[in-house]
Chains A and B, each alone.
Chain A
Amino acid sequence: MKSVLPVLTVIGAILLFWIVSVVPMNMHLTADLAQRQDIVVTPDTPVARQEYSGIGLALRNPQLFGMTYTLERPRLPSPHQVVVEMWNTIALQNITSRRSLVFHGWVTLSATLVGFVIGTGLGILLAVGIVYNRAMDMSVMPWAIASQTIPILALAPMIIVMMGAIGIQGLFPKAVISAYLSFFPVVVGMVKGLRSPDGMQLDLLRTYYASPAQGFWKLRLPASVPYLFASLKIGISASLVGAIVAELPTGARAGFGARMLVGDQYGQPLVTWAALFAAALTAAALVGFFSLVERWTLRRMGMQAV
């Protein structure tokens, strides 16, 4: 709670910077528009105006400041424009309608969650394998790292086409791409976590004559829980990004990614910005949810979260 004031201050500073920047960012477009409406603009030809930066043009044309905040196709929308657009598509629309951001949010979220579950499951299994099997440790880890350098936007269409070839369409291919992006943080975190018990603790279990399986369930797994949660938080936002990226090659049908794309293509930047913020809010909510679960779990396990 004591973070509320600093957070509000920083948000306030960013909002102020945003509001002030709207003027120079939109000035060239506004000047073109104003000239067509026979308002005096200095200088008076588009070609001459190209010589000036946004700020220079703004200083010469203070009469256009107001217009920069109400453009239909702004280069930088004003905060109030984004809020109005989000309000229109979230609160003023029937949730099941295709014009509602909530509907699209659910489409993206469902792929995210399925992909996240697959990615986390796979990641944990892989981590257990890496910790307990030397061959896996030496062979798989470098390739897991290399797999993250492959641009997912290039692989996504291929994965979708290949899955389409065997008749799998819809949610599952998107979930696969989400899983691809989320499994790596989970692997890294769990490997670190499963290896975190120190020598003394491992010896203690040996004095109890514990089998490797017992050692796993009673020591390694509990010790890895804080690391697991850290990775889950990274994994869920990576999963969301994966679901959005996957929406492009599946034909921009529904979901945040589809909205961003169609907004960009048809000259409706407000649609894109609204979808962008909605996606970020969703990610923040998911990470926040996992933070709460983490705090509750660690308190119950007696490992008070730091």
Chain B
Amino acid sequence: MTGTAIISALAIWAAGWFINARLANSAAANTRLVRLLVPAIFGLTLLIMWELLVRLLEVSPIILPPPTMIADRFANEIPTLWADFVQTIVKGAMTGYIIGMLAAFGVAILADRSDFLTRGILPVGGFMAALPIVGIAPIFVRWLGSDWQSKAAVVAVMVFFPILVNTVAGLRDTTAMQRDLMRTYGAGYWPTLFKLRLPAAMPFIFNGLKIATTLALIGAIVAEFFGSPTVGMGFRISTSVGRLALDMVWAEIVVAALAGSAFYGLMAWIEGRVTFWHPSQRK
């Protein structure tokens, strides 16, 4: 039985790979459709292999449920999943993301005015960014209570540093010629900032914002493990493990992956609109 399972799984893998290889090397490789199709086929191949191996090897659903069971649970629990999504992502992660982002911008501009501050803040900020979130989260829950505010605070702290570093790097990215040009126009600090340096910094800033999207999600979910009201993705995942409802755990993971990818995609789209002039945006 094990032998059949492994051979069929490998066969599916080979089939999927073959299709993808043909598509990727075909003439239509650069079209939008193929670019979406190839990862989709890859993902589908993995799902089929998963389903096959779990069913044929008779793995207990308490250890790893098959994708069909997860999909079934997902479809049946949409109200719960939605409530969890609002609590964790909208209230916790997004609020924290915006707070962290604004704080990072503020500190970056402050640091920009003073080289002394920059050289002080960056190393110290690096140390603070190394504090593992698993340690910070319970402390924030103790300080701010179990509701979404503590989750937002954890997220704000987590996203602050990547955005700060990237913004500072971006603000420094203008060449001397460009800055001299602004001086010939008689532009002071603030006009130069808004008309030259901030737009020039946008590619770096968005790099930081994209990294921060995944951090925000993870921060909000992890913080919920340490105390929460009876709603929220972290809460649901943790209690579902306790109740051996592994299919619910995976349904929540699917929501997290979808939300994270959507958030990242949104940032990438905004980046495309704002930094249309940058070489990396050339098709």
Q: Is there direct touching of A and B in the complex, by C-beta distance under 8 Å?
A: yes
- A-side residues, CB < 8 A to B, are 2-3, 5-11, 14, 25, 75-76, 134-135, 137-143, 145-146, 148-155, 157-158, 161-162, 165, 237, 240-241, 244-245, 248, 256-257, 260, 264, 269, 272-273, 275-276, 279-280, 283-284, 287
Also in contact, A3 and B123, with CB within 8 A (given A151-B217, A165-B63): yes
Also in contact, A257 and B124, with CB within 8 A (given A135-B20, A138-B39): no
Also in contact, A138 and B225, with CB within 8 A (given A151-B237, A155-B253): no
Q: Report which of B63, B132, B233 forms a contact with A240, defined as CB distance below 8 A.
A: B132
Q: Report which of B127, B135, B142, B225 forms a contact with A153, defined as CB distance below 8 A.
A: B225
Whether the Cβ atoms of A260 and B134 lie closer than 8 Å is: yes
Also in contact, A7 and B20, with CB within 8 A (given A240-B132, A276-B131, A276-B135): no
Total CB contacts across the A-B interface at under 8 A: 165
Min distance, Cβ B188 to any Cβ of chain A, angstroms: 25
Q: Report which of B39, B126, B225, B226 forms a contact with A287, defined as CB distance below 8 A.
A: B126
Does B256 sit at the interface, judged by CB under 8 A? yes
Q: Which residues of B contact A273 (CB under 8 A)?
A: 139
Also in contact, A149 and B256, with CB within 8 A (given A138-B38, A154-B249, A276-B131): yes
Also in contact, A135 and B17, with CB within 8 A (given A152-B218, A162-B63): yes
Whether the Cβ atoms of A10 and B214 lie closer than 8 Å is: no
Whether the Cβ atoms of B130 and A9 lie closer than 8 Å is: no
Q: Which residues of A contact B217 (CB under 8 A)?
A: 149, 151
Pull 24 A–B residue pairs with CB atoms less than 8 Å apart, ordered by A: A3-B120, A6-B117, A11-B124, A135-B20, A135-B23, A135-B25, A138-B20, A138-B23, A138-B29, A149-B217, A149-B218, A150-B257, A151-B253, A153-B221, A153-B234, A154-B256, A155-B253, A158-B249, A162-B63, A162-B64, A256-B135, A269-B139, A280-B127, A283-B132
Assembly CA distance A245 to B223 (angstroms): 12
Size band of the B side of the interface?
A: 35 or more
Please report which residues of chain B, range 29-47, place their CB below 8 angstroms from some CB of chain A when the two chains form the complex. 29, 34-35, 38-39, 41-43
Also in contact, A280 and B131, with CB within 8 A (given A7-B123, A161-B63, A272-B138): yes
Interface of chain B, helix or strand or loop or mixed? helix
Does B261 sit at the interface, judged by CB under 8 A? yes
Q: Report which of A2, A14, A155 forms a contact with B124, defined as CB distance below 8 A.
A: A14
Does B21 sit at the interface, judged by CB under 8 A? yes
Whether the Cβ atoms of B25 and A134 lie closer than 8 Å is: yes
Min distance, Cβ A281 to any Cβ of chain B, angstroms: 8
Min distance, Cβ B110 to any Cβ of chain A, angstroms: 12
Whether the Cβ atoms of A260 and B124 lie closer than 8 Å is: no
Q: Which residues of B contact A6 (CB under 8 A)?
A: 116-121
